[in-house]
């Protein structure tokens, strides 16, 4: 089965991530298929803009494929996987034709990072957006620590990243993540929005360093891993002082460092054995 569907109509290439049985979670094959489809659309004379969405009613993309992630054997493995994903997302971000993410449901973890790598986003009213990685004993590895603060501002991103709590479509839109659209006729309205982007130059994410407060706010983290939180804080605070590209490389290194903690293994095993709703028994090491 094709993991990314490719369809061109009226000058728009619609790329649909197509793993509805796993809520369109991104495994390596899907990453590669996204890159291939994006480059195909960029090279196609009949295509003026690209719409990226998820198959089914429920999800845009519910994250990286956690089962695949749990199979990584070392920090180097993880850093390599992270750089692979970042390369796919960098390809999307650098396309000359405008790329709009049509976020039609869950956009979690790697799913939100994928949407943020696009040039803009429309958010269906049923969408839920977040970076829940800390629940799994990891930090975002596909650009979330660097792109989210640049889109929604430091304080909101600091809270979303460190607590893992998702936000609904209306709040996401108010925060600057995209434009809210009704469920009825969502994809057609998304295409109309993309046509506006085709006629004007799409805005690009500001790659300059982002100022960070000297004393970032304290947060209540409950059961979440303090060792993972320390790596996450460092990735955010050190990364944002750098231009985007260097910040992304730094994030990949901190992502790899999660492998040295006990909490990564506890968090991933907990997800595989108990599912997403059972809090992991983190030991903060
Ligand atoms: N990976 C793999 N399978 C997933 C998945 C995921 N991220 N999300 C959902 N699924 C699967 C479920 O396991 C389930 O499969 P079966 O049990 O039916 O075989 C199926 O999709 C339907 O899910 P649910 O039954 O749970 O559906 P519900 O509607 O009840 O719940 C939910 C929907 C989205 C609230 C729930 O599925 C959920 O919380 N899912 C996990 C969300 C999440 O934590 N996302 C991942 C965040 S971590 C990396 C760099 C970056 C990353 C990874 C690696 N490298 C450098 C390697 C990023 C990591 C993330 O994205």
| pTM metric for this prediction | 0.96
Q: Is residue 10 part of a domain?
A: yes
Ligand 1, atom 44: closest residue by C-alpha: 132
Provide mean pLDDT across the span 172-192: 97
Q: What is the DSSP letter of 109?
A: T
For a mutational test of ligand 1's pocket, the pick from 63, 69, 273, i.e. the residue with the most ligand atoms closer than 8 A to its C-beta, is 63
pLDDT the model gives residue 176: 95
Q: Rounded to whole angstroms, what are the CA distances from 64 to 25, 42, 136, 187, 197?
A: 5, 24, 12, 24, 28
Q: What is the DSSP letter of 185?
A: T
Average pLDDT value over all residues in the chain: 94
Q: Across the beta sheet with 167-168, what order do the strands follow? A: 59-61, 106-108, 128-130, 167-168
User: Does residue 22 line the site of ligand 1, with CB under 6 A?
Assistant: yes
- The rounded distance, in Å, linking the Cα atoms of 186 and 129 is 17
In terms of residue numbers, what domain contains 32? Answer: 4-131+166-199
pLDDT over 80 (residue 33): yes
Q: Residue 21's Cα: distance from chain center in Å? A: 19
pLDDT over 80 (residue 201): no
Among 27-36, 79-88, 145-154, 177-186, the least confident range? 79-88
For a mutational test of ligand 1's pocket, the pick from 18, 59, 62, i.e. the residue with the most ligand atoms closer than 8 A to its C-beta, is 62
Atom in ligand 1 nearest the alpha carbon of residue 59: 34
Backbone angles phi, psi at 176, to 5 degrees: 110, 10
- The rounded distance, in Å, linking the Cα atoms of 250 and 237 is 11
Q: Is residue 42 part of a domain?
A: yes
Beta partners for 129?
Answer: 107, 167
Provide mean pLDDT across the span 4-11: 96
Q: Is residue 158 part of a domain?
A: no
Q: Is residue 255 part of a domain?
A: no
Ligand 1, atom 38: closest residue by C-alpha: 276
pLDDT the model gives residue 73: 79
Q: Is residue 277 part of a domain?
A: no
For a mutational test of ligand 1's pocket, the pick from 21, 23, 105, i.e. the residue with the most ligand atoms closer than 8 A to its C-beta, is 23
The domain spanning residue 30 has which CATH number?
3.90.226.10
Q: Is residue 274 part of a domain?
A: no
Contact between 22 and 62 (Cβ < 8 Å): yes
pLDDT the model gives residue 57: 87
Percent of the chain with pLDDT over 90: 86
Q: Is residue 205 part of a domain?
A: no
User: Does residue 70 line the site of ligand 1, with CB under 6 A?
Assistant: no
Long-range contacts for 176-180 (Cβ within 8 Å, ≥24 apart)?
A: 176/151, 176/152, 177/115, 177/116, 177/121, 177/123, 177/129, 177/151, 177/152, 178/101, 178/103, 178/115, 178/120, 178/121, 178/122, 178/123, 179/120, 179/121, 179/122, 179/123, 180/122, 180/123, 180/125
pLDDT the model gives residue 87: 87
Ligand 1, atom 22: closest residue by C-alpha: 22
Q: Which pLDDT tens digit goes with each residue over 113-159? A: 999 999 999 999 999 999 999 999 999 999 999 999 999 999 999 99
Q: Rounded to whole angstroms, what are the CA distances from 224 to 39, 136, 221, 230?
A: 39, 9, 6, 11
Q: Which pLDDT tens digit goes with each residue over 51-93? A: 999 999 899 999 999 888 888 777 777 777 777 888 899 999 9
pLDDT the model gives residue 46: 97
Among 38-42, 125-129, 257-261, the least confident range? 257-261
Per the rule left: phi > 0, alpha: psi between -120 and 50, beta: everything else, 18 is beta
Backbone angles phi, psi at 83, to 5 degrees: -65, -35
Q: Name the token pair of 214.
A: 């000297």
User: Does residue 110 line the site of ligand 1, with CB under 6 A?
Assistant: yes
pLDDT over 70 (residue 212): yes
User: Does residue 62 line the site of ligand 1, with CB under 6 A?
Assistant: yes
2 — pLDDT class (breaks 50, 70, 90): very high
202 — pLDDT class (breaks 50, 70, 90): low
Q: Considering its fold, how many domains does the chain have in total?
A: 1
Atom in ligand 1 nearest the alpha carbon of residue 255: 56
pLDDT the model gives residue 164: 97
pLDDT over 70 (residue 163): yes
Ligand 1, atom 45: closest residue by C-alpha: 63
- The rounded distance, in Å, linking the Cα atoms of 71 and 221 is 27
- With helix as H, strand as E and coil as C, how does 1-15 read? CCCEEEEEECCEEEE
Ligand 1, atom 36: closest residue by C-alpha: 276
Question: Distance from the CA of 24 to the center of ligand 1, in angstroms?
Answer: 9
pLDDT over 90 (residue 160): yes
Percent of the chain with pLDDT over 70: 99
pLDDT the model gives residue 98: 96
Q: Is residue 51 part of a domain?
A: yes
Catalytic sites, residue numbers: 113, 133
């Amino acid at each position: 089965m094709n993991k990314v569907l490719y369809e061109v109509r009226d000058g728009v290439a619609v790329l649909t991530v197509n793993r509805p049985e796993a809520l369109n979670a991104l495994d390596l094959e899907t990453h590669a298929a996204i890159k291939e489809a994006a480059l195909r659309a960029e090279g196609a004379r009949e295509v003026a803009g690209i719409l990226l969405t998820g198959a089914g009613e429920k999800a845009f993309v519910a994250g990286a494929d956690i089962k695949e992630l749990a199979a990584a054997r070392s920090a180097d493995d993880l850093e390599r996987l992270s750089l692979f994903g970042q390369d796919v997302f960098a390809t999307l971000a650098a396309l000359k034709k405008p790329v709009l993410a049509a976020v039609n449901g869950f956009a979690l973890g790697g799913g939100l990072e994928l949407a943020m790598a696009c040039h803009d986003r429309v958010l269906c009213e049923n969408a839920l957006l977040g970076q829940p990685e800390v629940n799994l004993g990891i930090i975002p590895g596909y650009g979330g620590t660097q792109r989210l603060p640049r889109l929604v501002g430091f304080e909101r991103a600091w809270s979303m990243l460190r607590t893992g709590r998702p936000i609904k479509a209306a709040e996401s839109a108010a925060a600057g993540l995209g434009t809210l659209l009704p469920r009825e006729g969502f994809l057609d309205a998304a295409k109309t929005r993309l046509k506006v982007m085709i006629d004007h130059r799409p805005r690009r994410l500001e790659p300059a360093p982002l100022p960070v407060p000297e004393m970032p706010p304290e947060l209540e983290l409950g059961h979440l891993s303090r060792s993972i939180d320390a790596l996450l804080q460092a990735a955010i605070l050190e990364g944002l002082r750098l231009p985007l590209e260097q910040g992304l490389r730094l994030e990949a290194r901190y992502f790899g460092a999660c492998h040295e903690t006990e909490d990564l293994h506890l968090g991933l095993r907990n997800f595989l054995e108990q599912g997403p709703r059972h809090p992991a028994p983190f030991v903060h090491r």
